[in-house]
């Protein structure tokens, strides 16, 4: 049975927060993360992410965020101004 979530994730690792403990790497069933040359977690196979959330849950520094790509793309869309907003400067 195919996982409908596989390949639909956007993983963000904040390198300034990452301490390089490797917990996220050990917990990841898809082997999506590896340690970089700087000793920080880095995403190497995002397409293999099944969005289980283990890396995000177990990171002691809260340095990893896993989101659905559809939500990430929706965040990039321009926002419309609310109809009830008034401009006081005009």
Q: Which residue ranges form the domains of the chain, and what is each CATH number?
A: 20-68 (3.30.70.20)
Q: What is the pLDDT along the chain (90 residues), one digit of tens a residue?
A: 456 667 788 999 999 999 999 999 999 999 999 999 999 999 999 999 999 999 999 999 999 999 987 765 555 556 666 555 555 554
pLDDT at 50: 92
CA distance linking residue 40 with residue 62, whole number of Å: 13
Q: Give ∠ CA 56-43-25 in degrees, rounded to 5.
A: 55
CA distance 66 to 13: 9
The confidence score (pLDDT) of residue 61 equals 97
Tokens coding 64: 């990893």
Q: What is the pTM of this model?
A: 0.70
Which tokens is 17 given?
């927060």
What pLDDT does 69 receive? 78
Q: Cα dihedral angle (47, 70, 15, 59), rounded to 10 degrees? A: -80
The pLDDT tens digits of the residues spanning 67-79 come to 987 765 555 556 6
């Amino acid at each position: 049975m195919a996982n409908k979530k596989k390949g639909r994730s956007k993983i963000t690792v904040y390198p300034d927060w990452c301490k390089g403990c490797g917990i996220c790497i050990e917990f990841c069933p898809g082997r999506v993360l590896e340690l970089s040359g700087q000793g920080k977690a880095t995403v190497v196979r995002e397409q293999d992410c099944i969005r289980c959330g283990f890396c995000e849950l177990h990171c002691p520094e809260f340095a990893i965020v896993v989101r659905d790509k559809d939500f990430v793309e929706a965040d990039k869309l321009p926002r419309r101004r609310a109809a009830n907003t008034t401009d006081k400067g005009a």
